[in-house]
Amino acid sequence: MTLDLVRVATVVVASDGNYDNQIRLALMRKVVRKAAGITDVLVFPAGYYTTKGRPSTRLESVTEQTREMITPAKHEVIVCFGIDGRATKDQARDQTAVAIGTNGVIASARKFQPTKDEDGFIDVASDPFIGEGQYPRIFEIGGKRVFLAVCYDSYGIRQRSLENPDIDMIFNLVHKFNPRPEPCSSTQYFAMYGFAGASREWGCPTFGAAVFFKRPIPPRWPTGVLWNQGAKGIKSWQYTDNPLKPSQEFEIENITEKALVRVFHL
């Protein structure tokens, strides 16, 4: 099978912490408006939208809002983002990701790999490969099969030694990085054991996005990673080992947040 060129855009967000769903919606509109002609799929962070109810209560409205953004585009664009449900300030019991195209929801997934702090608190997917609700976890774009991973799921791919179900790309929607030395602040650790670890396990690229709260986005932090180091140990992996580089990048500012968009050609 001949695979087409796919243009993947990762959207990393820098935030001062003062945001709501409407601010996030406005930022997404700006990103889509500028990126629609140069990318086929946009990957936003996990927990991009939050709700005190279950994610399903927000799905219909955010799907319609997203469709309104992408329908005017000359080319088909898929937008991936996270919806956290039953959310408090620090944790959410429901952590899901969705992929939306002009016809609506294409794929949806629930986090299957909890962190130690989340274990027993969040509601996880019953199976790493199962979709959420009536939608599959895996979808296709340009002949390539994409696996939706929610935050720590990329660790789970390696830790569980999951067999690759013929996946060509992993989209890892990450929640956040706090200022150092607070918890959830180790960007290098996540790139190494999450992005590179999942890429090594399945032999395909991992693309990720996250929110950086009250700290700048590290310019060297990779949002597209491909393992090409053979049997080298993950602990020895460095950013300079990563062969994936964006073809272009740009920034878009909103009221309290800024998006760094990187476009990769696959």
Output the pTM of the full model: 0.96
Helices in the chain by DSSP H: which ranges?
Answer: 21-35, 56-70, 153-159, 187-190, 197-202
The pLDDT confidence band at residue 87, using thresholds 50, 70 and 90, is confident
CATH number at residue 215: 3.60.110.10
Task: Tell me the C-alpha to C-alpha distance, in Å, between residue 23 and each of 81, 173, 219, 253, 254.
Answer: 15, 19, 24, 11, 8
- Between CA 183 and CA 72 the distance in angstroms is 41
- When pLDDT is averaged across residues 227-240 and rounded to a whole number, the result is 95
Is a pLDDT exceeding 50 seen at residue 1? no
CA 192 to chain centroid: 16
Look at residue 117 and tell me if it is in a domain.
yes
- Between CA 200 and CA 198 the distance in angstroms is 5
Q: With H, G, I as helix, E, B as strand and everything else as coil, classify residue 74.
A: coil
Look at residue 2 and tell me if it is in a domain.
no
Is a pLDDT exceeding 80 seen at residue 3? no
Residues 212, 50, 33, 266: is their CA dihedral positive or negative? positive
Per-residue pLDDT tens for 144-195? 999 999 999 999 999 999 999 999 999 999 999 998 888 887 899 999 999 9
pLDDT of residue 210: 98
Q: Where are the beta strands (DSSP E) in 133-247?
A: 138-141, 144-150, 169-177, 206-213, 224-225
Expressed as residue numbers, the domain containing 213 is 7-265
Which among 188, 221, 186 has a CA at the least distance from the CA of 207?
221
Look at residue 217 and tell me if it is in a domain.
yes
Count of domains forming the chain: 1
Residues 42, 44, 46, 52: is their CA dihedral positive or negative? negative
Look at residue 213 and tell me if it is in a domain.
yes
Per-residue pLDDT tens for 88-120? 777 899 999 999 999 999 999 999 999 998 998
Q: For residue 84, how many other CB atoms are within 10 A of its CB?
A: 25
Look at residue 215 and tell me if it is in a domain.
yes
Look at residue 1 and tell me if it is in a domain.
no
